[in-house]
Structure 1
C-alpha cells in the first residue's frame, strides 16, 4: 500500500525501482543540485517508467513555491471584461510569458470591499509566489499590504508610497506628439477630456497636455472623464456648451475619443472639418471609427509581457530595474 497514493505512484515506489532512498528521490524531484548525477539519472528513469508525477501540494511545502502568479486588477469584473481592450491586452501579455515558463496565472478583480478583503487574504496567504497589479487607484491600500507581507510585487505604473518595480509607457511624450500635431494643423482651441486623476495614467496624460499647451502659449480647456465611452460622450456634450468655438479635442483614451466622436456627430459637427479628435491607446476599433481615429499608440500587450518578465526575474532572486518605460507613437488617421 505504501507504493501507491489513490492509484498514483509514490516516492517510495520510485525509490524502490531506482534502488535509492526516499530522501534521494525527494531531493531530485524538488530540483536540488546536490544529488550525484548517476543517482539522478536512475531516479529520473524510474519516475518515467512508473509515470510518477510530483504532488504539487507536497512539493510546495518543501520548495515554498506554488508555481503560480496573481494578476490583480482593482476594478469590477464588469469593467475588466467590458469593451475596453486594455485589460485583455495586458492579460494576454502576462499569460504568454508565464505560460512559457510553466507558471500558472491567477486573475483576480476587486470590484467590492468584500472581494478586496478576500483577494488580500489570498494574495498574502502564500497561495501565489508573486503578485502583479494593473489599473491601480491612488487610494487602494492593497499593493502596499501585499508588499509588506513579503510577497514580490510588480505594478503597471508607479504607485505612490510603494517601493516596487513597475512598467509603464511614456504618457507625457505621447500626449506631446498629439497636441503638437493639433497645433501644427492650425487648431485654435484645443480641449482635453482627461482621464481619472486618481490614476497615474490620467495624471500624466493631463500633465503632457498642460505642459505642451503652456510651451505654445495656449490656454487649456479641461474636462475629466473616466476612460469609458460613456464619459467621453457626456464630457464632449458639456464642452460643446461651455466652449462652442473649440476646434480640437485630445481625449486621454480611445474609448473616450470614440464617445466624443458620437457626441460631435449628434451635434452636427464634422470631424475633422469642424473639430479634430485624437485619442490614446490605439485599440483595434480605432481604425474602424467614423472617421478612423488618430491616436497615440501604447504597446498594451508588451506592458503585460514586461511585467511578467520582471516578476519571473524577482522570483529567481535577480535584480530588476525599478522602472521600465515603454515608448509611445502617434498614429495619424482621418480624425485629425
Structure 2
C-alpha cells in the first residue's frame, strides 16, 4: 500500500510511533504544559512522519474543557450508595477518564428541581462533558443539556425520542426473553417477574421481553413492580407469592431485587431452586447471596459500559447523528445455583 493509500493516523498510532501514551499525545496536540520538551519533540516528530491531522471537533472540545467530566446519577442517595451496578459503571468510567488524564466529579440529581439546578451548573462549568446514569422518563436533564449544547452521553436508551444524545446500552428485551425461555426449557411453568420502575427504558424493555417469552401464558397477576433495591425485591416477590401461591420461578430484573426475592422465598417457607427458581439480571461482581444459593443471572459488562461511555463522549462530542447507531453490548446467562 502506498503512502497516499494509508489510513489516516490516529492518536493511538502516533503514540505507538513515539513510544508514549495516548494521553501524552493528546496533551501535546492540545498545547498542555505538562509535557517535557524532549517528549513533546518526539511526539511532534511522530506526527510529522505519520502526517497526523488533529481532529477539529475534538480540539474544540479540548479548548473549552477543564479536564473534568461530570458523572450525574439520577437516583436518590438511598439507591446510589447501595447499588453495586451503579458503582461498577462509575468505576469503569473513572478508569477510562484516568487513562485520558481527565478527572471525574460525581453529582446526584434525583428529581426535576435538582436536575434544573444541575443543568445550570453544568452549562456554565465548561467541562469536558457529562455522563448521565439512570435517567427516568420524566427527568429534564438530558433535554436541557442537549438544548444548551453541553457534550453529553447517556447510559441507556433515552425515553424521550426528542433527545438525540449518544448512548450505551444492552439489548434489554432480548436478554430478558432469553432468561425466561431458559426457565421454561427447564420445566418451569408458572414464572413471575419482579420488574423495575416503569419510567425507565431498561425496565420497560425487560418487562416486554418477559411478556414476549411467556406469550399466551402471560397474565398481569404474574407481574410485580420493584425499585431495584433488595427491600423492594423482597416486598414485590412476597406480593407475587401471595397472589400466585403455585409460582415455581421468579425472574427479577436486577440482582439486588433477585437477592430480595431469595429472601422472600425463604420467608414463605419455600426453597430455591427446588420450589422456586430465581434468576437475576446484572451479574454484579462479588455480590452476596446472604447465605443462600449463588445467583443465576444475566451478565452485562457494566464496567466496560462505563469505559465506553467516556470513549463515546470524547470521540463523538456527545451528539448522536441520525445515522449513527448506539453502542450495544452483548449479554449472556450465567447459570449458578438459584435456578
Q: In the alignment, which residue of structure 1 is the partner of 2:298?
A: 296
**Structure 1: which 5+ runs fail to align?**
1-27, 45-59
Q: TM-score, normalised by structure 2?
A: 0.77
Check 1:316–1:271 CA distance in 2 against 1; reply closer, same or farther (3 A cut).
closer
Q: 2: CA distance between counterparts of 1:239 and 1:288? A: 20
* Contact 1:197–1:203, Cα closer than 8 Å, also in 2: yes
Aligned CA RMSD, in angstroms, stands at 2.7
* Contact 1:286–1:292, Cα closer than 8 Å, also in 2: no
Q: In the alignment, which residue of structure 1 is the partner of 2:77?
A: 77
1:110 has 2:109 as partner? yes
Q: Which SS does the other structure have where 1:284 is aligned?
A: coil
Task: Kindly tell me the number of residue pairs found equivalent between the two proteins.
Answer: 283
* Offset, 1:113: 5.3
Q: 2: CA distance between counterparts of 1:156 and 1:112? A: 17
Check 1:243–1:254 CA distance in 2 against 1; reply closer, same or farther (3 A cut).
same
Q: Which SS does the other structure have where 2:104 is aligned?
A: strand
* Contact 1:187–1:248, Cα closer than 8 Å, also in 2: yes
Q: 2: CA distance between counterparts of 1:141 and 1:317? A: 17
Q: Which SS does the other structure have where 1:278 is aligned?
A: strand
Q: TM-score, normalised by structure 1?
A: 0.78
Q: 2: CA distance between counterparts of 1:103 and 1:119? A: 20
Q: Which SS does the other structure have where 2:217 is aligned?
A: coil
Q: In the alignment, which residue of structure 2 is the partner of 1:11?
A: none
* Contact 1:173–1:328, Cα closer than 8 Å, also in 2: no
1:307 has 2:309 as partner? yes
* Offset, 1:306: 0.6
Q: Which SS does the other structure have where 1:163 is aligned?
A: coil
Q: In the alignment, which residue of structure 1 is the partner of 2:65?
A: 65
Q: In the alignment, which residue of structure 1 is the partner of 2:31?
A: 31
Q: In the alignment, which residue of structure 1 is the partner of 2:242?
A: 241
* Offset, 1:171: 1.2
Q: 2: CA distance between counterparts of 1:95 and 1:262? A: 33
Runs of 4+ in 1 over 6 A off after TM superposition: 316-320
Asked which structure has the greater CA Rg, the reply is 1
Q: In the alignment, which residue of structure 1 is the partner of 2:55?
A: none
1:191 has 2:196 as partner? no
* Contact 1:164–1:322, Cα closer than 8 Å, also in 2: no
- Report Cα offsets for 1:18-67 as digits up to 9, x if no partner: xxxxxxxxxx99629xxxx9xx96xx9xxxxxxxxxxxxxxx9x932212
Check 1:318–1:169 CA distance in 2 against 1; reply closer, same or farther (3 A cut).
closer
Q: 2: CA distance between counterparts of 1:317 and 1:301? A: 22
Q: 1: CA distance between counterparts of 2:315 and 2:260? A: 40
